Amino acid sequence: MTLTKEIMGKSMVEAFRFEASKGPFYLKRCSKQHRISLPPTFYCSVETTNDKEEKKKMMQQTVSPLSTFIEGAESRRDFAARKPAPETAKVTVTATVTIKNSKHVENEMMSSIMLRHFETFNKTMSEKGMVMQLVSTEVDPRKMEPKVSKNAVLECMKDMRMGSPRTTYKVQFEIDSDFGLPGAITVVNKYEKELFLEDIVIEGMFHFSCNSWVQPENHNPEKRIFFSNKVHLPWETPAGLRELRKEEPRQARGDGKSERKHGDRIYDFDVYNDLGNPDKTRQDSRPIFGGHQYPYPRRCRTGRPAPVNDQKAETPVTAFNETYVPRDEVFDGTKMESLDVERTKGITRNLLPFFKTCVTKCGAFKQLSDVTSIYNGKTFCESKYEAVSNKIQAYLDDHFKFNTPNIIRGNNSGFCIRDEELGRQTLAGINPLSIKRLETFPPKSDLDPSIYGPQASALKDEHILLQLHGMSVKKALDEKRLFILDYHDVYIPFLKGINAQEDRKAYATRTIFFLTRLGTLKPIAIELSLPHGYPNCLSKQVLTPPEDSNSYWLWQLAKAHVCSNDSGVHQLVQHWLRTHACVEPFIIAAHRQLSVMHPIFKLLKPHMKDTMKINALAREALINAGGIIESEFSCGKYCNHIVSAAYKDWWRFDMEALPKDLIRRGLAEPDQTKPYGLKLLIEDYPYANDGLPSWFAIENWVRTYVTYYYHDALMVQSDNELQTWYSEVINVGHADHREASWWPRLSTPSDLISILTTLIWIASVQHSAVNFGQYPYGGYVPMRPPLMKRLLPKKDDPEYEDFMKDPEGYLLSSMPDLFQTTKYLTVVNILSQHFTEEEYLGERKDLSDWSSDPEITESFYRFSMELKRIEKEIERRNKDPNLRNRCGAGIPPYELLMASSGPGATCRGVPNSISI
């Protein structure tokens, strides 16, 4: 029988149920208690095996039919039926141990081979190895301690295979004949280098998914603890594992002191106090985000010493001091190598733009063809290169040319974004989360006039009346035909500071849309606002669709400012805050408070993968002082101020659920006669149309999972690990909102289902919706500039004459130059990538976590099949000519919420977690 069948086998509990500690909700799931004694078996020495095909099957397994469970159960029954040895006898059981190879492990192995030529080799090697001890689920009644095996030493350096991704070994444990069932393994690494322990399988039946680095004993003297893949609620924990269950998350919590070092696996909370560099220059200083003045979600603590000029901060990361994340959260070698390849390619692509912009001062775009040349390679291959061979030309294209973004394939009708495309992208672009229904006209501000001055809108009925197809403004409001992108209150508090920066000029924009009879949105008015009392400028001006040449170009400039506002809010609020930053506290608390045996930890495990590492990389290069976001977006050094304000005044976890978010924005109304109980006010809203089936698929899967383990409210309320996890998320991870009344309660299975569905939704579908289209939808800067450098010209401005002579040149000079553009494209291209080893929603490479709960695995199989059905439905919608927001001439299909994808910037695919 294959390992896959063993992993997917029927419940081990049914075959031989041990006596669990009887907590308040102890449920005996089988009528007869079983106990086994493990027989003497097999091996006398460590052996190496390389069953690659078998291992490959196990690693790639995602779902399996129910039939595999029965065969696995029969095998375990045969094992249990073996005649036990005498009570006083010692028996030997065999474990298959898989270690994933890495470069530094292979280097140590080479050193060991060299030592064979020295007399001290045998003595040196005898003192090294992986020391393992098997722990029973039972307690020795004489000692009142868990039954344990004798130490087994795995000398993996002797037999490790160079160049192989992993090596499999056989190891024996000597135990008493009445040992009972194996429940945990402790490991001490006596080598000088860390080792990646992938998994351990005892007798082919008891699976321990480790997937963790084991540090050398001189780095961390504490024994690493790995539990079998059996799910245990706290009160079901076998007596022999109770103390180890408490010890494992205690190790992850650490002591909350000292600087974290590479190799630590300690999860702790801290504020964002490492974004600035006050020792460098005064301009590089940044406030601490995550306190009373600047609320912010908490991040992982690094404990680095404070810089000289700011004792409350941590020293920023340097090229020689990477940001700490717990060791198990670091990218695996394959993904890190792929990321490095993309970064190297990005640096290469920016060499010539840097030279042209910063050295020869020729980086300004003079005409539209200068921008499009970025995608055809002509920017980098001027006339003197035309005579070179085809090979060199191909090399330049591969290393310097950017791929043409989806958004301009067949849709490049000129300069800026077309009106209908602006409306379409608010529903089916990279930021479909900001559009709201307009409930009052003119729109109102919530800003305090005593601080920010009068904030009454300049919009009037006459501005939009002619665009309403004969309707009055009141009727358009009553029939719910008016919608708005409102960035007024987001930007106004920071505009003076933003516009005081070099080469930064921004407005706070409001854009009014009218819902046409075709189901598309048409922009009918744009309001541009500046802070009250802004020198030499009207604080507010309104532009409407053009009627002549002058108004045409001013309208294009206004739309460019709208898209710049939208780019900033998308990147800072919808993307960074609502997914990356707000999910990290849930992940940290899960590792600190939930045992790896806990069913909720096992459910969330794939949805937490790589998030802490990608967030750490963001603090190194994206959201830090002078980082890419500050450099390439209009907000500049005020980026994190905007994030903090949005978190303080607007973010609510209870409103992150898709149905509630749609209702809050006025895009949907409760209606039980409609699919999913919601009536969409814009029927052709691709983000909502594709998102709702995925939301309810996740909810159904989570409901099945939760109700399987939690039968009533009392079970949820009495689960101390679960309650402590949720409490720490609120009171520590989101401490600035700990007094908020909107936090969902965690008292019933329904509460837990809602919380987990929301969390999984954010980490998978929501993040994919706002991330993987960044290059395909935003990779053409004239249509979606991340920053603007000039305000609209006024007739009495000296530059007005330049605008009249060359409006296209004026517009181009308002946007990023060549080097700024290629830097921006490099980053969004990397962020839009899927890597080879990605695991998508509905996939799990290792289902052994539920090997003893076949009902759960079968439910996951149904969940996976439902996601495939949803993909087929999305494909059908993308071909429906009646759905004009996703189908039509030059319109790319909306595929961002299709779960599967290949590698690359595919503009589709929903990974399980926020992994890039």
**CB under 8 Å to 634, separation ≥6 — which residues?**
498, 504, 505, 506, 564, 565, 568, 786, 787, 788
Q: How far apart are CA 181 and CA 80, in angstroms?
A: 10
**C-alpha distances in angstroms, 547 versus 414, 420, 544, 553?**
18, 17, 9, 10
**Torsion angle of alpha carbons 460, 466, 469, 470, nearest 10°?**
80
**C-alpha distances in angstroms, 223 versus 126, 132, 144, 219, 754?**
20, 9, 20, 11, 37
Question: For residue 81, what is the enclosing H or E element?
Answer: helix 67-81
Show which residues are catalytic. 575, 580, 767, 771, 916
User: Could you tell me which of 364, 446, 482 has the C-alpha nearest to residue 810?
Assistant: 364
Q: What angle do CA 668, 443, 639 make, to 5 degrees?
A: 85
Tell me the two tokens of residue 305.
């010493």
**CB under 8 Å to 719, separation ≥6 — which residues?**
233, 234, 710
Q: How many CA atoms lie within 13 A of 387 on its CB side?
A: 1
CA quadruple 223, 227, 232, 235: dihedral sign: negative
**CB under 8 Å to 190, separation ≥6 — which residues?**
127, 128, 129, 130, 131, 216, 217
Tell me the two tokens of residue 252.
């992850």
User: What's at 586, amino acid-wise?
Assistant: F
Residues comprising the chain, all counted:
916
Cis upstream peptide for 670 (omega within 30°):
no
User: What's at 832, amino acid-wise?
Assistant: S
Phi, psi of 346 (to 5 degrees): -65, -40
**Contact between 905 and 776 (Cβ < 8 Å):** yes
Tell me the two tokens of residue 392.
């060199």
Tell me the two tokens of residue 293.
């003045």
User: What's at 22, amino acid-wise?
Assistant: K
The region that residue 298 occupies, defined by phi over 0 for left and psi between -120 and 50 for alpha, beta otherwise, is beta
Q: How far apart are CA 849 and CA 89, in angstroms?
A: 32
Q: How far apart are CA 299 and CA 302, in angstroms?
A: 9
**C-alpha distances in angstroms, 286 versus 256, 281, 454, 575, 862?**
24, 11, 30, 21, 49
**Contact between 209 and 231 (Cβ < 8 Å):** no
**Contact between 911 and 844 (Cβ < 8 Å):** no
**CB under 8 Å to 175, separation ≥6 — which residues?**
38, 90, 91, 92, 93, 134, 136, 147, 149, 150
**Contact between 657 and 757 (Cβ < 8 Å):** yes
**Contact between 41 and 60 (Cβ < 8 Å):** no
CB atoms within 10 A of CB 302: 23
**C-alpha distances in angstroms, 224 versus 200, 209, 265, 519?**
14, 13, 11, 59
User: Could you tell me which of 237, 240, 258 has the C-alpha nearest to residue 302?
Assistant: 258
